[in-house]
Amino acid sequence: MELSSSENGVRMEIFVVENGEMERLMEYFFGKNLNQTLAAAGLHTPPSMTAAAICCSQLKLNSSNSFASSPSKPQTRLRFNPSALALSSSANKPSSDPQPIFSSVKSFAPATVANLGPGFDFLGCAVDGIGDHVSIRVDPGVRPGELSISHISGAGSRLSQNPLWNCAGIAAIAVMKMLGVRSVGLSLSLEKGLPLGSGLGSSAASASAAAVAVNELFGGLLSPSDLVLAGLESESKVSGYHADNVAPSLLGGFVLIRSYDPLDLVQLKFPDHRSLFFVLVNPEFEAPTKKMRAALPPEITMSHHIWNCSQAGALVASVLQGDLIGLGKALSSDKIVEPRRAPLIPGMEAVKRAAIEAGAFGCTISGAGPTAVAVTDDEEKGAEIGERMVEAFFKEGNLKAMAMIKKLDRVGARLVSSIPI
């Protein structure tokens, strides 16, 4: 490895690794807050790679300013500002090692509906009443500056307790690094309220709850955008670098991702006086995100591009106006992603028809599926719509399913309880 100072920044060789060794070496030069240092340079951690792996060979980015990852890794575009990377390591670090103000905290993060039809990877919303809980406590038995996962319960009992391979653990560690936590060790407990691979943002809920819990334990020093970045670091390890689940889970309501480079989020306020109910029907069928993404078309026609863009715009306008009829029409309008994914979920096309016939304003796949989501303005009507959708899953797909009627979660991830030091 070659390291040298220059007027334009730092030169170094690259070793693409996925363990903690390179990151610890990078932290030696840049400080504990490596991710924030890279963010200041306009660099973003690509999927399935540590932040240290972004430090390119002598900063040799090619003419298109992209980093060529290994053939098995997806390529991620980077923007590079060498003068920003040349900042001293203290520029992006907390002024001191923060001390916890609580001995333990418990947080909650809601489920989410991503894509919302034509808004693939850039629109999502939070739903009330279901989600994940994370408890964080100061643990003298854990090495200072590190995190352990002590317990996982609920639907995620088969998840790894290695914090480097767990959504909640990855997000919690990311927040600890942003804060510069060095003097205490933490223990994490995860209560999964969401089924895995359901299309309801299960991984994002775990990451969001963990990020909020660690931040609140130390007095809420980080901004919501910092927490979204921590959640994105977790999501990138599991389902890709997209924020349409983690952003609404953290912020609540409807969220539009305007840009990923730099990350730019727009919260879309649904009118308080309007009633909105989501009919969520989850069949006993797992749709892994990786498999569902593999079904996406490599190319699309210009006519489909124009159609989806217009429908996404109509969806945003309908949200802001509280127009449920327009929202439902836009929700049902996707001509690019849903037509490829629906056939992979037994009975989905019949379920959508049943929802509309029962009076739903619109229906689509929630996230990558298999959950189907319909919208209505009345809870009692929503229960009837849910029954028809459950029947369609069983009749046409031979799948048992469960229906839930939920409101929009306007708050997002939050602290549930705390115990002072």
Mean pLDDT is lowest, of 61-75, 155-169, 300-314, for 61-75
**Residue 83 vs residue 61, higher pLDDT:** 61
Task: Find out whether 374 and 362 touch, Cβ atoms under 8 Å.
Answer: yes
What pLDDT is stored for residue 339 in this prediction? 95
Q: What's the CA gap between 219 and 421, in Å, rounded?
A: 12
Mean pLDDT is lowest, of 62-76, 248-262, 367-381, for 62-76
Q: What's the CA gap between 27 and 37, in Å, rounded?
A: 10
Q: What's the CA gap between 4 and 2, in Å, rounded?
A: 7
**Residue 82 vs residue 194, higher pLDDT:** 194
Domain boundaries, the chain: 102-269+410-420, 277-407
What mean pLDDT comes out for the span 385-397? 98
The backbone torsions φ and ψ at residue 100, rounded to the nearest 5 degrees and listed phi first, read -65, 145
**Residue 399 vs residue 288, higher pLDDT:** 399
What mean pLDDT comes out for the span 159-172? 96
What average pLDDT does the structure give for the chain?
A: 82
Tokens of 15: 């070793």
What mean pLDDT comes out for the span 244-259? 97
Q: What's the CA gap between 7 and 369, in Å, rounded?
A: 50
What pLDDT is stored for residue 116 in this prediction? 97
DSSP secondary structure letters along 365-404? E-TTSS-EEEEES-HHHHHHHHHHHHHHHHHHH---EEEE
Mean pLDDT is lowest, of 40-44, 111-115, 222-226, for 40-44
What pLDDT is stored for residue 73 in this prediction? 32
Using CB atoms within 10 Å of the CB of residue 279, give its burial: 0 to 12 exposed, 13 to 18 middle, 19+ buried: buried
Q: What's the CA gap between 227 and 178, in Å, rounded?
A: 9
Alpha helices, DSSP H, located in 82-122: 82-85
What pLDDT is stored for residue 94 in this prediction? 52
- In sequence order, which residues have a C-beta less than 8 Å from that of residue 181 and are 6 or more positions away? 97, 98, 145, 214, 218
Residue 78 has pLDDT above 50, yes or no: no
Predicted confidence (pLDDT) per residue in 123-154, tens digit: 999 999 999 999 999 999 999 999 999 999 99
Fold classification of 102-269+410-420 is: Ribosomal Protein S5; domain 2 (3.30.230)
Mean pLDDT is lowest, of 36-40, 82-86, 134-138, 362-366, for 82-86
What pLDDT is stored for residue 129 in this prediction? 94
* Percent of the chain residues topping a pLDDT of 90: 70
- In sequence order, which residues have a C-beta less than 8 Å from that of residue 205 and are 6 or more positions away? 109, 110, 111, 112, 131, 132, 193, 194, 245, 249
Predicted confidence (pLDDT) per residue in 284-326, tens digit: 998 777 788 889 999 999 999 999 999 999 999 999 999 999 9
* Confidence band of 235 (pLDDT split at 50, 70, 90): very high
Greatest C-alpha distance within the chain? 69
* Confidence band of 155 (pLDDT split at 50, 70, 90): confident
Task: Find out whether 204 and 246 touch, Cβ atoms under 8 Å.
Answer: yes
* Percent of the chain residues topping a pLDDT of 70: 77
CATH 3.30.70.890 fits 277-407, yes or no: yes
Using CB atoms within 10 Å of the CB of residue 284, give its burial: 0 to 12 exposed, 13 to 18 middle, 19+ buried: exposed
Q: What does pTM read for this prediction?
A: 0.77
Residue 34 has pLDDT above 50, yes or no: no
Task: Find out whether 234 and 243 touch, Cβ atoms under 8 Å.
Answer: no
What pLDDT is stored for residue 338 in this prediction? 96
What is the separation of C-alpha 168 from the centre of its chain, rounded to a whole number of angstroms? 11
Question: Number of C-alpha atoms within 13 angstroms, CB side, residue 61?
Answer: 18
Predicted confidence (pLDDT) per residue in 333-354, tens digit: 999 999 999 999 999 999 999 9
**Residue 367 vs residue 72, higher pLDDT:** 367
What pLDDT is stored for residue 15 in this prediction? 34
What SS3 state is found at 419? Answer: strand
